[in-house]
Chains A and B, each alone.
Chain A
């Protein structure tokens, strides 16, 4: 289970719509609590994949990951995963997603159809890298 603040959820939805028909991407900040992982806020990050491919690819460069890690540490949080959008495609990880993912991180994917976010789903990679497991999302309205 993944607890997602309503603010983070809204942020992912609007980022996906703003970047449509290209993919958006960014970091998920929060903390690992005994009763589950809590994602409290997002850091939008510029998609660094080559311009002509951004409708189906995203890349976050290591320099930006380092910056996100430092920003998280400053506010007492951790970088616990990343989000991106799938323009006109379901919020299910692709084979390309799997090949480039790491375990531990939560991957939130927003499905954006015709410019409107239809849903956000959460995934984590298995330790042997073979598959993604879906995690239930609970929205925290506080």
Chain B
């Protein structure tokens, strides 16, 4: 499946400034992994050390957050667009 992945501005430093990259995969998890393999410096910003996707990285297929679908197991169709959107969190001590 040819998938288009849209990259937030914050992560374009790791994709040669590209805002849009192509990836392969039958599921959201596979497509993000194939993209991260092509740009290894981005891995530590997308994944926890145990290999799960960081909780504040949100993934949309079209306009749907995969949290409301099947998460990283959400199936993709050829030509789907996957958008990565960071949630932002923080606070004082």
Residues of A within 8 A of B (CB): 23, 25, 49, 56-63, 65-66, 69, 78-80, 82, 84, 86-87, 89, 93-97, 100-105, 107, 127-129
Contact = CB atoms under 8 A, between A and B. Distances in A.
B56 interface: yes
Main secondary structure of the interface of B (DSSP, over half): mixed
Given A65-B85, A129-B45, A97 B91 contact: yes
B90 A93 contact: yes
A62 B65 contact: yes
Contacts of B12: 104
B89 A103 contact: no
Given A61-B87, A62-B87, A65-B85, A104 B92 contact: no
Given A62-B58, A94-B93, A102-B11, A82 B45 contact: no
A104 B9 CA distance: 8
Interface of B: 8-13, 41, 44-45, 56, 58, 60, 65, 83, 85-93
Contacts of A58: 89-91
Contacts, number: 86
Given A93-B90, A95-B93, A104-B10, 10 more contacts: A56-B91, A62-B85, A84-B91, A86-B92, A87-B92, A96-B89, A102-B86, A104-B9, A104-B12, A129-B45
Contact of B87 (A57, A59, A86, A107): A59
A25 B93 CA distance: 16
A56 B92 contact: yes
Nearest to B45: A102
A65 to B, nearest CB: 5
Nearest to B84: A62
A132 to B, nearest CB: 11
Contacts of B60: 62, 66
A129 B93 CA distance: 18
Nearest to B55: A100
A104 B89 contact: no
B90 A84 contact: yes
